[in-house]
Structure 1
Amino acid sequence: MAVQPSRWRWAAYNGGAAAVGHGLLWGVSGDPMAGAVLMADINLSLVPVATFTLTCTAAWAGWKAGRLLRWLPGLTGLAVRPVAAAGGALWGQGAGPLITDFMAWSAPWSALLAPLAVAGAFGAVCWLYLERHAAGWAHPLRWASRIPLATVTVSSLLYAPGALL
């Protein structure tokens, strides 16, 4: 069965973007396997990375939840969002022991899936803030905006298993 030309075009588009991204990483770091070192470092410091992520997420959620009470009169209405964000951040900072216990309970799966979860989250951010907005751009700019997402996707396939060895 022959491969349709549109699939070849898709593979060349995404493969070219990934190749440029890897070339840039290689040029900046001087190491063709720079992604594997980064994945290994993230895997070794999983609890602090997860605590930081949870802290940022809880602060953002507190900021959004504080919006519900902005109708309060005076200074209270103005202070509710920053106070809720600070409270969420403080809660997130205290979650380190909970994350450690969860990692111990779910071992070895938490350590095996962590590099892919980190790459998936970074890929989602690339898509949400860059790729999605590039839909109406000119073709070369759309292709350039694909470089981070394609690089993260291919890197996760290449480097995530190596980070665990």
Structure 2
Amino acid sequence: MSAPTVGAAKARKKRKKKHGKAAAAVQVAVQPSRWRWLAYNGGAAAVGHCLLWGVAGDPMAGATVMADINLSLVPVATFTLTCTAAYAGWKAGGVLRGLPGLAGLAARPAGALGAAFWGQGTGHLVTEFMSWSAPWSALLAPLAVAGAVGSVCWLYLERHSAGWTAPLRWAARIPLATVVLSSLLYAPGALL
């Protein structure tokens, strides 16, 4: 063998040794963080679940609330559509805000009210959609409800808690962890 080939083979052997040691170090370093993550989120979920249990007097309180929401899915969906339409109407009214006089002042509230009135009349549309998409709409409803509630918890608490101290960040995690735990405990059995 020539000298460059022997040198290249030795370099490859050294890289393999370094890579093996680095992989072992990474594996050891990742393991405790998983336990820390589980303790952090599990503790938050346990505290939230115990708070719900204490307030409602029922150990399955969060699961019962999730089941009630899924059983009254048409009114919940109508309420959600009404709020979303009102927000969209408010934003759309902002385009006409530059009109002179009272028309400019009333553009946003009028847009929000008009869209909210439209949203109130969508109950029959939701009912028709659910009957058209059955059984999938009933099977996916728990996922949609838990996802929506979890998104609201993340949007208003989790996202803003990044710069807080560790105990406050943990306290801000309690609602989201409780929603996830309640959804896992519910696991659409209450509808069956």
TM-score range, shorter chain: over 0.9
- Structural mapping, 1:74-85, within 5 Å: 74-85=101-112
Displacement after TM superposition at 1:115 (Å):
1.6
**Residue-by-residue CA offset, 1:135-161 (whole Å, 9 max, x unaligned):** 111111110110001111121122132
Q: Does 1:32 align with 2:33?
A: no
Matched, 1:155 2:187: no
Q: CA deviation at 1:36?
A: 2.3
Instruction: Within 5 Å, give how 1:104-119 maps onto structure 2.
Output: 104-119=131-146
Of 91, 95, 116 in structure 1, the residue corresponding to residue 122 of structure 2 is 95
- TM-score calculated relative to the size of structure 1: 0.95
CA distance in 2 between counterparts of 1:159 and 1:116 reads 11
Distance 1:139 1:38 in 2: 30
Equivalent pair of 1:36/1:162 in contact (CA under 8 Å): no
TM-align CA RMSD: 1.3
CA distance in 2 between partners of 1:36 and 1:126 (Å): 17
> Letter of the aligned partner of 2:90 in structure 1?
W
Identity within the alignment, %: 81
Question: How many equivalent pairs are there?
Answer: 165
Normalising by structure 2, report the TM-score. Answer: 0.82
